A and B are shown apart, each in its own frame.
Chain A
Amino acid sequence: MSANQLSRRSFVTVAAGAGAAFVLGFRCVDAPSKPALKGSSAKATVKANVWISIDSDGLITLTVPKPDMGQGARTVLSMILAEELGAEWEKIKVVQAPADGTNYGGQGVGGSGTVRGMFEPLMKAGAAAAAMIKGAAAKEWKVDPSTCSLEDGHVVASASGKKAPIGDFAAAASLETPPADSEVKPRGKGQYRLVGKPTKRVDNKDVVTGAATFGLDVKIPDKKVAVMVRPRVFGSSDKSFDDTASKAVPGYVATIPIGSSIALVGENTWAAMMAAEALKVTYDDGPNAGVSSATISKGMAAAVQPFPDMPSGAAKTVSATYELPYLSHATMEPQNCTAVITGDRCEVWVPTQQPEGARRVAAQTAGVTPENTVVHVTLVGGGFGRRLNVDYVQECVAIAKQLGKPVQLVWTRTDDLQHDQYRMATLQSLKGAVDAQGNPIAWYWQLIESGGGRRNRGGDAGAAPSWNDGGSPYNIETKKRLRASIGAPIPTGAWRSVENTYQQFAFECFFDELCTAGGKDPVQARLDLLQDERLKATVKRAAELADWGKPLPPKVGRGIACFSGYGSVITQIAEVDCSGKKPKVKRMTAVVDCGLAVNPLGVEAQVQGAMMDGISTTLYAAITIQGGGVAEMNFDGFQWGRMADCPHMKVEIMPGGEAPQGMGEVGYPATSPAIANAIFAATGKRVRKLPVKMDELA
């Protein structure tokens, strides 16, 4: 089937040769509210990105263009598509679209944009399909189409009392004239049947039976397995290697240098791993061998600028410096890719957040055209921003090309932790003041980013930084900000909520410090100084739910933080017990307004998961740079929260507006400062460095 029949004027087109199946291609360009993803090839030339097919048995197949990395895209996009089809949920089959920007539009998943961007076009797509089925039934029954509706897999004509399965009209519907875009009026709030209904994931059964196919589960006949040996030091290269011992490993296949790394290929994974372990390499460490977390930390401290004088009327000034480390994404499924090159064709299976980027890189590396490159998107075992990059695709296709055989590239956990694009390390120095009544009147924030890689947003290293207006979500008379970057040679990238991961920590902790200086209650102070009414409503509700102000045992404290971003607002309150050796988060309360919550179960899951991220990065996780590379090799060093760290979580979703807003990242930014503020409430000491060490509190 192809979308090439799509007319410019028509919103929907009918594919040729549909036979008994009714196949629609919809022209669905992401709504403009969705932020453009870097590297996304979404263009005005997009022809169609969603396919609905209904066969004569009434089975509805929905092709979902966006990868599912755990954010629930396959479920929530299917719900939206199926809303107007009156489909029985059990009769829906979800198919993952291959990478094809021409036909499916922007397929990247990031920036919490999937539901925000796809809601309106997919609602229209479903409504258009419904109109064509109703039209076909109306013709056969000789009734007015407006008297027909789709319910539980059937077309029902209210006036005549006629009722027949949707599948009966599959063939006839394909002959209907597709409605023009302006004629399609999807239903709205108050009329939804599926949208807003807590809906379980479409892939759950496959997951709990082990049938789900992630990248590493792809079964290709005669595939070999490649494991890389990489220089640990960033920017270094190999001088020489000796693979004599590798060759002696049973199942050894080949040694293939790729850039500064060496691929060891085996008949199976264990053979490749053993061959890699047996390889002897001598490295030239290059210019970065002396770089460490300590030198980066020192460099950031040296970049801090003097603060301007505080305004007159300042009764008390407060200063604080917050330092946050590099973080790895550490997706549960390590990076991997499987590639087959035959003649002028390249076929790839990959768990990625960036299907089109994967296709482009695979085609370039294989030396074939994008049209001859097929990228199958598997289930994605975690993303968090890591899989917006497609470095693993490039490696795998390069190996497959040299090997001349199908190959699966498997990154070990050490590869994954030591060759990530990290959430950058930062140092944030703030100074503020309160007046005689305790009201904040000044807020100076400087952000020093370690920089490096693709996320060098703080300006050029060495350029003279300057103070500009802004830099606080609060209504404070004098607000100034300054940004700088030291350009450390550590690769960095997007990590769930990107700059909000560190900025919000400083904002919300420092606001708490100003509250303390001014003798203000942190809940009331937020209600006084926030301007966003939606955000204030979540502050109020969270305070009620979390028993704000009620007495707690000694060494137990509550802390609050809030965040506004991706179109959504959230407030979180942490209850933390500091009576033991390390803080224990006992309870987390979150109140979120994400506009229209299309799948409340999914929204709750995103917030619960993001709160576990926040607990993990507050209490445990850090990437340490030592000798120019990453010190951590596995989950013993890069620690993450487990069951015993999981508090009782309450997530409440506020009744929101008519359009859905971003949810994937919203739960993260306020969690960590809420915990830090709770630790202060419990101990009287401030968290100024993450992860928290009780003997480092200020």
Chain B
Amino acid sequence: MGIRRHALAKFSVNVNGKHQEVDVPADTPLLWVLRDNLGLTGAKFGCGAGYCGACTVLVDGKAVRSCSYEIQQLKNGKVTTIEGLSASADHPVQKAWLDNDVPQCGYCQAGQIMSAVALLNSKPHPNEADIDAGMTNLCRCGTYQRIRQAVLAASKEGRR
């Protein structure tokens, strides 16, 4: 395995509508910039390799697995994390999650919600096959049936 060693560099990031500067190696995953530098711990570390999706955030409205997305890739991309969705839980997807009592342990749910937001951004009225294809994050508690119900419910509410 090649050793990655980048010197610290300054990056300007736009997260949840706020511009901030961070001083990190260029290959630092967005996940760790969010969690360790900016203190936004809503996006979770699950696998570090893009397999599980617990770290999912939006970049310009599209879902990215932030554990495998280097800060240098971001350029002028606008990042939205779960904290930026709505702190009072009144985004339609958050509301659908509450209405359907989706979470069990809850650890993967921020990533699931951000994936659902991205799916509904691109496909406002998904059918079950669209949800199967679009919601690929791992939930180790197995909350998929309620996630499916919640995505369908949110799509009926209409997206923002």
Contact = CB atoms under 8 A, between A and B. Distances in A.
A379 interface: yes
Interface in B110-151: 110, 113, 131-133, 135-148
Interface residues of B, number: 68
Given A270-B28, A613-B142, A643-B144, A212 B47 contact: no
A564 to B, nearest CB: 22
A463 interface: no
A207 B106 CA distance: 6
B138 A609 contact: no
B51 A636 contact: yes
Contact of A70 (B47, B104, B144): B104
A550 interface: no
A159 interface: no
A643 B147 contact: yes
A640 B138 contact: yes
A209 B85 contact: yes
A635 interface: yes
A212 B82 CA distance: 11
Interface string B19-49: 0000011001100100111011111111111
Given A208-B98, A269-B45, A605-B146, A635 B8 contact: no
A332 B40 contact: no
Contacts of B104: 70-72, 605, 609
A216 B85 CA distance: 21
Contacts of A216: 41, 44-45
A203 to B, nearest CB: 6
Given A210-B110, A250-B7, A332 B101 contact: no
Interface string A605-617: 1001111110010
A382 B81 CA distance: 22
Contact of B83 (A210, A334, A380): A210
A257 interface: no
B39 A219 contact: yes
Contacts of A16: none
Given A208-B98, A216-B45, A277-B1, A201 B140 contact: no
A273 B36 CA distance: 13
Given A207-B109, A209-B85, A379-B106, A646 B46 contact: no
A116 to B, nearest CB: 19
A643 B132 contact: yes
Dominant secondary structure at the B interface: loop
A210 B81 contact: yes
A209 B87 contact: yes
A601 B98 CA distance: 13
Interface in A647-694: 648-649
Given A250-B8, A379-B105, A640-B138, A269 B32 contact: yes
Contact of B35 (A269, A413, A648): A269
Given A332-B105, A381-B107, A608-B143, A249 B52 contact: no
Nearest to B4: A274
Contacts of B39: 219
B41 A646 contact: no
Contacts of A643: 131-132, 135-137, 144, 147-148
Interface in B74-101: 81-83, 85-89, 94, 97-98, 101
Contacts of B61: none
Which of B6, B37, B144 counts the most chain A CB atoms within 10 A?
B144
B97 A204 contact: yes
B89 to A, nearest CB: 5
Contact of A278 (B3, B28, B148): B3
Contacts, number: 204
A217 interface: yes
Contacts of B143: 605, 608-609
B13 interface: no
B103 A207 contact: yes
A249 B5 contact: yes
B142 A381 contact: no
A198 to B, nearest CB: 8
Nearest to A250: B8
Interface string A376-387: 000111111000
A307 interface: no
Nearest to A635: B51
B138 A380 contact: no
Contacts of B135: 642-643
A101 B158 CA distance: 49
A261 to B, nearest CB: 18
B28 to A, nearest CB: 5
Contact of B89 (A208, A213, A330, A646): A208
Given A204-B103, A212-B106, A330 B140 contact: yes
A203 B46 contact: no
Interface in A19-74: 68-72
A613 B148 CA distance: 17
Given A70-B105, A201-B101, A635-B51, A382 B5 contact: no
Contacts of A205: 89, 98
A331 to B, nearest CB: 6
B149 to A, nearest CB: 11
A317 interface: no
A268 B87 contact: no
A382 B108 CA distance: 10
Nearest to B129: A644
Nearest to A650: B145
A646 B101 contact: no
A452 to B, nearest CB: 24
Nearest to A599: B101
Contacts of B1: 277
Contacts of A383: 105
A204 B52 CA distance: 21
Nearest to A213: B41
Nearest to B114: A210
A495 B116 CA distance: 31
A248 interface: yes
A478 interface: no
Interface in A207-233: 207-214, 216-217, 219, 225
A612 B39 CA distance: 33
A210 B82 contact: yes
Given A332-B46, A649-B145, 18 more contacts: A205-B98, A207-B106, A208-B89, A208-B97, A211-B42, A214-B106, A245-B3, A333-B44, A381-B105, A413-B46, A413-B48, A601-B101, A612-B139, A612-B144, A613-B142, A616-B142, A635-B51, A644-B133
9 contacts: A209-B42, A210-B82, A211-B42, A214-B44, A269-B45, A274-B5, A384-B140, A601-B101, A636-B51
Interface of B: 1, 3-8, 24-25, 28-29, 32, 35-37, 39-49, 51-52, 54, 81-83, 85-89, 94, 97-98, 101-110, 113, 131-133, 135-148
